[in-house]
Structure 1
Amino acid sequence: MPWLRVLMAYGLLLACTAVFFGPVLFMLSGSLKPDELVLAEAGTWRALVPESVSLDNYRSVFERVPFASYLASSLIINGLIVGLGLMVNAFAGYALARLRWWGRNGVLVLVLALLVIPFEAIAVPLFYQLSWLGWRDDHLVQAIPFVANPLAIYLFYSFFLGLPRELEEAARIDGAGVLRTFFTIVIPNSAAAFASVAIVLFLFHWGMYLWPLLMTTSESVRPLPLGIATFHTLPPLAWGDILAFGVLMVLPVVVVFVVFQRWFVQGVASVGVKG
């Protein structure tokens, strides 16, 4: 029966929504209730709906740890990764999609192969390499290794393949070179791709923990993921403070996604259709 299939489909979607949204609601609710009730009410419906709302946990976050310093470090690191990454990966994607040069197909295969290699597999060799060079404990060393991203290159490559060649050919007839064509024709027509890659890079690296843990010793350059871990070394262990920190850490991600959501959807749809 058609109505039964529809009912089952919506029931499955609601169940999936509850599974994914439940922890977020628990984090938000726990951040607004007294610390002694956070775990005491876990496993009941009251864990998701606080009886009374208090901002004490948020005030405690700013009193116990230098949250502003952690936030500034995260914004600097991710700003470098996104800003430099957009240009580097866009250049690489355009060169693979439009230019003809020796070894192009081999480089494309290498980019695709790098997609399946997790960062954890190269983290330790990269750590020893940069430590041997004496480059540690600053914002740049946490950002530069992630500027070139194989997924971002492939997203740009797929998008640029779908752009009409007539636009670039008209610019070249008018005397524009490759760089001028890229900046005046390609970039203005690729806002969706740039927004998609910006969100992907931001989401991937905002919560990165392993690399900052390996490369930093000074609190002044530690990002938010290391900041939330410091609560486990600050007695007493206050879960309300940890959940409040988590909410504050997630807010910039939500803001970025909401601002660029329309372009992100357009970019993913374009890659899916044209790639």
Structure 2
Amino acid sequence: METKTNMKQAAAVNKVPKYSMKSRRVFKNIGLYLFMGMLAFIFLFPLVWMLVSSLKSDVQIFRDMKTVHVFIPPLYDSVSAYFANYTQALERVDLLKYTGNSLIYTMGIIAFGLIVNSMAGYALARMDFPFKNFWMAIIIATIIIPAESIFLPLYVLVHNFGWVNTYTGLIVPFIANAFMIFLFRQFFIGFPKELEEAARIDGCTPIGIFFRIIIPLSKPVFATVAIFTFVNHWNDFLWPLVVANDEKMRTIQIGLQYFFAQQPVQWGQVMAALTIATIPMLLIFGFLQRYYVEGLTHTGSKN
């Protein structure tokens, strides 16, 4: 009886017209794309509003706030009028200098951090040494410590070294990062051991294996860590404010505060300055995004 019932069900499924199944797939895809488009609009709304508002005067910004014109750029007779807020913002505050300081600060942490954290992650994933699990537990435990709680002793240490108002004082304290070490470790655990064994047979040292084999095959995790590190430290405010009190060493996030120091606030200039501060993050994510998802997927491997 069960066999006959299954045969009847299969026959009923076969009788379903192909065009109806195709229509269902089409409607399903349309619904999926509409949903994804709505999510994209929600996430991009602040960015688009900021960009369009940077081209408007304060009067236009507040006038269009509750209308659809909030997403529509204004129409001017000259090209220079579109960039008036940018010109005035750059004249008011040396944003290019502050942006350069932020780039040196973040890129320095990324460059040294990728080397230090990747080597630590590789050692924890592939090498055997005493108390390895204990040290891994200690590293993971430090993730829960708020950074603000160690700023005072960290500043005293930096001050005693004479690193105040230097790039060294900005960069060195944040080179080693427990979370980044964990990401590298999780990625390296998934590497096939046969690659390392073949390299050892050929006489390659552990350092040679790491730099010649592991790093070239680890672009996804390096890109993921670079993006995380850039976003985290590009938006830093408290530490650069404490350590870089010289105007020549200030970063872009501190420079943005100048636009709120004088009243009334020129919101068009604020939006222009925020756009300038956002461009580097968009660029680095645009260049590395193809490795981003792959890196996150691999770092989910289990030991």
Q: TM-score, normalised by structure 1?
A: 0.91
CA-to-aligned-CA distance 1:210-268 (integer Å, 9 cap, x gap)? 11111121111111101111111245421111111111111111111111111122211
Equivalent residue, structure 2, for 1:45? 68
Unaligned runs of 5+ in 1: none
Aligned residue type for 1:27:
M
- Rounded to whole Å, the distance in 1 between the matches of 2:244 and 2:160 is 15
- Rounded to whole Å, the distance in 1 between the matches of 2:142 and 2:30 is 42
- Rounded to whole Å, the distance in 2 between the matches of 1:259 and 1:122 is 34
Equivalent residue, structure 1, for 2:169? 141
Q: Secondary structure at the match of 1:115?
A: helix
Structure number with greater Rg is 2
Deviation at 1:188, TM superposition (A): 1.2
CA-to-aligned-CA distance 1:112-135 (integer Å, 9 cap, x gap)? 222222322322332233334443
- Rounded to whole Å, the distance in 1 between the matches of 2:168 and 2:61 is 38
Determine which of 118, 121, 144 is the counterpart of 1:93.
121
CA contact (8 A) 2:187 2:300 kept: no
- Rounded to whole Å, the distance in 2 between the matches of 1:2 and 1:164 is 39
- Rounded to whole Å, the distance in 1 between the matches of 2:39 and 2:141 is 32
Instruction: Calculate percent identity across the aligned residue pairs.
Output: 35
Q: How does 1:75-224 map to 2 (within 5 A)?
A: 75-224=103-252
CA contact (8 A) 1:159 1:274 kept: no
Structure 1 stretches of 4+ with a deviation exceeding 4 A read 1-15
- Rounded to whole Å, the distance in 2 between the matches of 1:122 and 1:45 is 47
- Rounded to whole Å, the distance in 2 between the matches of 1:55 and 1:193 is 38
CA contact (8 A) 1:97 1:158 kept: yes
CA contact (8 A) 1:70 1:222 kept: yes
- Rounded to whole Å, the distance in 2 between the matches of 1:187 and 1:220 is 36
Q: How many residues align?
A: 275
Equivalent residue, structure 2, for 1:256? 284
Equivalent residue, structure 1, for 2:13? none
Aligned residue type for 1:237:
V
CA contact (8 A) 2:186 2:301 kept: no
CA contact (8 A) 2:165 2:249 kept: yes
CA-to-aligned-CA distance 1:78-99 (integer Å, 9 cap, x gap)? 1110000000000100010011
- Rounded to whole Å, the distance in 2 between the matches of 1:259 and 1:164 is 28
Deviation at 1:196, TM superposition (A): 1.3
Deviation at 1:39, TM superposition (A): 2.8
- Rounded to whole Å, the distance in 2 between the matches of 1:30 and 1:18 is 17
- Rounded to whole Å, the distance in 2 between the matches of 1:3 and 1:195 is 36
C-alpha RMSD of the superposition: 2.3
Aligned residue type for 2:267:
W
Equivalent residue, structure 1, for 2:56? 33
Aligned residue type for 1:52:
L
Equivalent residue, structure 1, for 2:79? none
Equivalent residue, structure 2, for 1:24? 47
1:121–1:20 CA distance, 2 compared to 1 (3 A):
farther
- Rounded to whole Å, the distance in 2 between the matches of 1:11 and 1:127 is 50
- Rounded to whole Å, the distance in 2 between the matches of 1:143 and 1:61 is 28
Equivalent residue, structure 1, for 2:12? none
Unaligned runs of 5+ in 2: 1-23, 77-81
CA contact (8 A) 2:55 2:74 kept: no
CA contact (8 A) 1:33 1:52 kept: no
- Rounded to whole Å, the distance in 1 between the matches of 2:167 and 2:70 is 38
Q: Secondary structure at the match of 2:163?
A: coil
